[in-house]
């Protein structure tokens, strides 16, 4: 499996070179470069297209990708309007726009890059190779912990020019949680729960690898990272997403509908017990890290209350430091939907709901026929579930290979040719 053109080479070496870039402290900035440079490269290819250009070389942008592009541009409009409302100044508008270009914009740029001539098999294999690297590094992390090495090795000097949170420039393979006395891996992710998210995306991609040896390595590595990140949401996604995807892909079949009807009837009879089981599960889920759950709940409640101050365009930025009751965590973090309402108001909220719903309907419609649509449906479910525990836009720089696959699947000329 070797890359055959410029775009494949960039994607291939970017994925398998993740740890090299991470240890150099350059991964966050590097992803920005490839996102925008490949996007400009695609625009140049579109401008140079002629009527006699071969079909395999033509660039076609699907309607769904246009929906994402327009929605993410709306996100930038909310940035400008909110800053004007609160008189934050031109400098703050520029800074926040740069952050938009390295977060929300990726949700449109990487699917757009998928419209280039990139084979999904290249990404599947590269993710498996990255998984092998992670399996090698995993025991080293615990060895470093045993030898009492510091959790964070160093902060990249690129922080001086890169801006944004210091976590994106801090090089460290693991962290320690005092509440649960657990060593939690984060590897190339900024924090442990983020590793759980990207590992779920990689698990979905690795399972598509045709080579059995690499598929097994990729799947085992992804599961190992989810387990060792101790991400509650990551473990939940690993179990539930395949089941939900299977149901959405097969719900049109008569036997599935009959089974669902019978299951619904039985569930109605034992509804009280099921509700009790669910409440027990929820309590245990929250108690696993009680202080974290408490802080998240408080952050969400305050964000909703503060949303009333700027219901249309939001506040424009998250607060630098939160109150003591939130352990000084900034208001507008740890939850995509609450953060959107606080930072970008109802307009920003709708700007994410629309492309998510549109994509979900499009993928469900095609998932029972086309494998790429099924893969993307699973990834969309993971991203959606993580909106309730993370700010998904801040983590796009680590799960971007999944977004490229999303773009490949949505290319109209390939979408209808890649059958199961």
Read off the pLDDT of each residue in 97-121 and give the average, rounded to a whole number.
94
pLDDT digit string, tens, across residues 179-211? 666 788 999 999 999 999 999 999 999 999 999
pLDDT at 65 over 70: yes
Per-residue pLDDT, 301 = 86
> What was the pLDDT predicted at 148?
82
More confident residue, 86 or 415: 86
CA distance 115 to 109: 10
Q: Sign of torsion, CA 101 106 107 108?
A: positive
Which pLDDT score, from 0 to 100, does residue 327 have?
A: 64
**Whole-number pLDDT of residue 418:** 42
CB neighbour burial string for 196-209, b if at least 16 within 10 angstroms, e if fewer: bbbbbbbbbbbbbb
For residue range 347-394, list pLDDT tens digits in order. 999 999 999 999 999 999 888 888 899 999 999 999 999 999 899 999
| Statement: residue 110 has pLDDT above 90 | yes
List Cα–Cα distances, 251 to 114, 244, 246, 261, 363, in angstroms.
29, 10, 8, 11, 14
3-state helix, strand, coil in the chain (%, to 5): 70, 5, 25
d(CA 11, CA 144): 31
Q: Full-prediction pTM beyond 0.75? A: yes
Averaged pLDDT for residues 404-419: 68
């Amino acid at each position: 499996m070797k890359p055959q053109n410029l775009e494949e080479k960039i994607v291939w070496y970017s994925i398998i070179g993740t740890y090299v870039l991470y240890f150099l402290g350059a991964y966050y900035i590097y992803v920005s470069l490839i996102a925008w440079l490949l996007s400009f490269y695609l625009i140049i290819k579109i401008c140079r297209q002629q009527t006699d250009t071969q079909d395999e070389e033509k660039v076609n942008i699907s309607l769904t990708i246009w929906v994402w592009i327009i929605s993410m541009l709306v996100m930038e409009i909310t940035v400008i309007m909110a800053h004007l409302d609160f008189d934050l100044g031109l400098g703050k508008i520029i800074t926040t726009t740069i952050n938009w270009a390295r977060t929300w914009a990726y949700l449109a740029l990487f699917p757009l890059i998928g419209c280039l001539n990139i084979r999904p098999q290249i990404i599947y294999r590269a993710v498996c190779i990255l998984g092998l690297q992670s399996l090698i590094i995993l025991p080293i992390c615990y060895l470093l912990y045993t030898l009492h090495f510091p959790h964070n090795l160093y902060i990249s000097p690129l922080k001086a020019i890169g801006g944004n949170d210091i976590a994106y420039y801090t090089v460290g393979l693991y962290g320690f949680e005092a509440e649960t006395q657990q060593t939690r891996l984060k590897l190339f992710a900024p924090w442990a729960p983020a590793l759980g998210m990207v590992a779920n995306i990689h698990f979905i991609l690795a399972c598509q690898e045709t080579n059995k040896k690499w598929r097994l390595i990729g799947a085992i590595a992804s599961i190992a990272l989810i387990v060792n990140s101790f991400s509650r949401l990551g473990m939940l996604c690993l179990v539930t997403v395949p089941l939900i995807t299977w149901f959405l892909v097969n719900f049109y079949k008569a036997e599935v509908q009959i089974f669902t009807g019978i299951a619904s009837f039985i569930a109605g009879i034992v509804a009280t017990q099921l509700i009790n089981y669910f409440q027990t599960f929820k309590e245990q889920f929250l108690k696993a890290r009680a202080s974290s759950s408490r802080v998240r709940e408080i952050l969400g409640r305050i964000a909703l209350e503060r949303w009333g101050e700027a219901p249309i365009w939001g506040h424009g930025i998250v607060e630098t430091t939160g109150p003591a009751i939130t352990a000084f965590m900034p208001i507008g973090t740890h939850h995509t939907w609450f953060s959107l309402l606080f930072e970008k108001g109802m307009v920003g909220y709708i700007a994410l709901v629309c492309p998510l719903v549109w994509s979900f309907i499009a993928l469900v419609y095609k998932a029972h026929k086309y494998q790429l649509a099924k893969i993307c449906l699973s990834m969309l479910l993971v991203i959606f579930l993580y909106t309730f525990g993370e700010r998904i836009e801040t983590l796009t720089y680590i799960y971007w290979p999944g977004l490229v696959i999303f773009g490949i699947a949505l290319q109209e000329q390939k979408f209808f040719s890649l059958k199961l």
